[in-house]
Structures are given as structure tokens and as C-alpha cells.
Structure 1
Amino acid sequence: MPPNEARLQYNLYSDFLSNNILVKLISYVLYASILVHTIDSIYLSIKAKKASGSSYVVDKRNRASKWYSRQMMLLGTLIFAFLVIHFKDFWFIYKFGTLPMDSAGNKDLYGLVVASFQDLWYVILYAISILVLGFHLLHGFFSAFRTIGLYNPKYNRIVKLIGVIFAVSMTIGYFVIPFYIYLNV
């Protein structure tokens, strides 16, 4: 799209998302879920640390699990830090800051996003964060099915394949955005 049309469409979509009651309800559930997930993971990590006993035991888990599965606490912490930065730089400014208006009278979030992704360090930070999120999703998708009791050896390969497709497509989709803006806008 030409830049002016892209600006109008992006800002119209942003306005729709921020003013749609169904999207608001889903976002509140998502915020609560992130907080519950964070608290639960901290609790489970502390419990696992206490249960493992001595720290001098040789760790041989790499034979049974992927490195990203063993690093969920680190990856989750990095994602949480990224969310704080993302909310501060975009969500908070959109909701409570003063943004200029576009020609249709909507807040110009497009201009803020494009300006943010003109800094290479920010593009790299965003890209690394999206990769971290991708690894978290790669493990989390399959684990979520096991957690809710939908574990069946007959369907594990299908669930893992769907999880890989989901994690890779989400990662690539969000990974492309900052680089595209940096290189083309």
C-alpha cells in the first residue's frame, strides 16, 4: 500500500481493536492469563528447585529434552521484560499519551511504530524478543495439551507438528515486521 493508505488502514485497525468491547474482554483475559502464568511458573520453578536437592548433581536432561524446554524460566523472563518494553513504548502511549491524529481523526499509531523501527538497535531487540517468544511457543503449545490432560501417544506427532507450524508461522510473521519497516519505510 502507499504510505498514506497504509497509515489510514493501520490506524483504523488500531482504533477498532482499542474500542471493540469483545477485543477488550479478550485482552483483559489475556492480561490475567499472563499474570497467572507468570506466578504459576515462578511457583513451579521454586518447587522444582527445592525438589531437586543438591546442585552438585550432574545434569543429563539434554538427552531427554530440548534446550528451550529446560530454559522456560529464562525465556519467560525475557518475554516478560519485552512485554514491559512493548507496553511502555506502544500500548501506554496509545492509551494514555498524546499522539497526533491522522487525516481520518484516529490516533497515529502507525507513525509511532514506523519511527520506533527506524532505530536498528530497537529492530534487533524486537527481533531477538520475537525469536525468544517463538521458542517459548514451540515448547508451550505441546505442553499446554499435556497440562490439560490431552496427552495421547497416538496424536502426539500431530499436536507437535501443529505446534511447530504455529510457533514458526507466528515467529516469522512478527519477525518480518520490524525489518520490513526498517528497510522499506
Structure 2
Amino acid sequence: MSEFKQTFNSSLGKKLIMALTGLFLCTFLIVHLGGNLLLFKHDQGYSFNAYANFLTHFPPIEVIAYILYLAIILHAIYALVLTVKNRRARPIEYAVRTKSPASWSSKNMGLLGSILLLFIVIHMGDFWLTYKYKHILGFKEYRTNQVTGERTVVDFNPPNQEFERSFTTDGDIEIMRVKDLHSRIQWSFSHLWYVAFYVIAMGALSFHLLHGFQSAFQTFGWMHRKYKPIIYFIGTWLFAVIIPLGFALMPVVYYFQSLSK
């Protein structure tokens, strides 16, 4: 037990924890982007509101959510500890600098991580906290004809403050009454400062993942020359390009939609 504790208290142990939590967060980003792409469906928020409701009321997902919060906290804490330790180990800059092959993203992981941490706090406060604990969201009632596929949507006034959601059927009509997180997103993404900050944060995410994804595999010793090109390809195109771009498009599209209304 003491050897186990010593291992994870060492620099290598801290890097292993960062790599493990980092890869877990990478997996989460794929799933999160997939769910958020429902925002692009022109169905008056039906799919996204149903998705948000599922995430907050399905027990296994809630358990994973708390693991996610723990992973974010551990990743941030260990990143801070390692950064401080590295600076203390070399308090004075070298008199002669050698050309380093290190990329810009690897040299600025602390800055990139700080931007992302601030973004996560604001983002969760605006959406997750509002959805879970603030009684400021409205409700929508969706009536879908299961035969024709026609759908109507109206505002819904819940019978009491404890009301969360309901799913019923009336003949061929499916009736869904849920919190309207979609309208909150429309409101948030109608503010230029929020959209700008969101896009900047996704730029930081791109550079953070460009170095972080590959670094995690190096920490675990999984950078065999046979698989190295694949890891670099996935790290670059999936995590540093496609995922940040997919997230950044959402506020931009919604902002321009708000201007046209």
C-alpha cells in the first residue's frame, strides 16, 4: 500500500493520473459533441430537450457525471501541482537557450488549461446549474402524432415547482413535457461576448488536445513506432480539429440565427 501511495505521489504517478483523466475527458468530449449536435435539428428543441432530460434523470449517466466532475478536478489539480513543481525545480532561466523541438501548445499547456477551466465553470453555471438547481427555465409541451409525424409545441406551465417532466400518450399522440434548456441555449448564444469567449475556449481546447492526447499515450508508453502515426492522426484531426470545430460552430450558428429574427 505504501509503494502504491509513493508511486502516485511521484512525478510519474501524477503524470499517469493526468493521462488517465485526460483520456477519460477525451472520451467524454466525443459523446458530448454527439449529443450537442442535436442542436442542429430543426425540431423546435424537441430532440435536444429530450436528450438533456435523459442525461439528468438516468441514474447510470448521473453516476458517470460525478466521475466526470472528479476527473476534471483531479486533472486540474495535478496539472497545477506539476507546473509549480517544474518551475521550482528550475527557478532561473538558462543563460544559453537551445532550440527546442517543443511545440507552442506544449509550452503553454498551463495557459490553455486555465482558459478551459474558466470556460467549464462558466459553461456549467450557465447550463448545468441552471437546469438542475435554478427554477428559471420554462417548460415545453411537445405533441407528436406517431402516425403522421406531425408535431406541435407550446409553452407549458407545470402544476407545481417540483414538476420535472412527464411522458404520456393519448391515442396516437405522444405528449412530452420537459424543461426547455434549448431556449436557454438560444438566449446565451445570442450574446456576442459569450459566443466570442466560447470560440476562444474551443481554440484553447484545440491546442490543448493537440499536445495532451499524444502526451497521454507517451506517458503510458504506448507510442510504438507502428502505431505512432495513427495516434498523431487521431490526436490532430479528431481531437484538435473536428471536435473543437464542431463545438465552436454551435454558438456561431445560433448567434447568426438570433440576428435574423
- Hey, what does 2:220 align to over in structure 1? 148
Distance 2:97 2:125 in 1: 38
Structure 2 gap segments, 5+ residues each: 1-40, 142-175
Specify the alignment match of 1:178 in structure 2.
251
CA 148–182 in structure 1, closer or farther in 2 if over 3 Å, else same: same
Task: Measure the CA separation in 2 of the matches of 1:146 and 1:106.
Answer: 45
Higher relative contact order, chain-length normalized (CA < 8 Å, sep 6+): 1
Structure 1 unpaired stretches of 5+: none
In structure 2, the CA distance between the partners of 1:22 and 1:55, relative to structure 1 (3 Å rule), is same
Identity of aligned residues (%): 36
Deviations 1:65-122 (A, max 9, x none): 1101110111101100111110111111001011111113211100000011111111
Structure 1 residues 178 and 51 mapped into 2: Cα distance closer, same or farther (>3 Å)?
Answer: same
Give a deviation string over 1:4-59, Cα, whole Å, max 9, x none.
x2312211110011112222122111111111111111111111112223135455
CA drift at 1:144: 1.0
Q: 1:35 to 1:146 in 2, by over 3 A?
A: same
Distance (whole Å) between structure 2 residues aligned to residue 178 and residue 59 of structure 1: 42
Please, which of 71, 83, 87 is the counterpart of residue 49 of structure 1? Answer: 87
Aligned pair count?
A: 182
**Structure 2 counterparts to residues 1-185 of structure 1, below 5 A:** 1-2=41-42, 5-55=43-93, 57-60=95-98, 63-98=100-135, 99-103=137-141, 104-167=176-239, 168-185=241-258
Structure having the higher strand fraction is: 2
In structure 2, relative to structure 1, the CA distance for the partners of 1:144 and 1:6 (3 Å cut) is: farther
The letter for the 2-side match of 1:182 is Y
Give the Å deviation of 1:154: 2.8
Code of the residue aligned with 1:64 in structure 2: it is: P
Give the letter aligned to residue 108 of structure 2.
Q
Query: Secondary structure at 1:106's aligned position in 2?
Result: strand
- TM-superposed deviation, 1:156: 1.5
Taking structure 2 as the reference length, the TM-score comes to: 0.66
Q: 1:89 is matched by which residue type in structure 2? A: D
2:44 match: secondary structure: helix
* Larger Rg, first or second structure (1 or 2): 2
Name the CA shift for 1:58/1:114 in 2 (closer, same or farther; >3 Å): farther
Q: CA RMSD in A?
A: 1.5
- The secondary structure found in structure 1 opposite 2:139 is coil
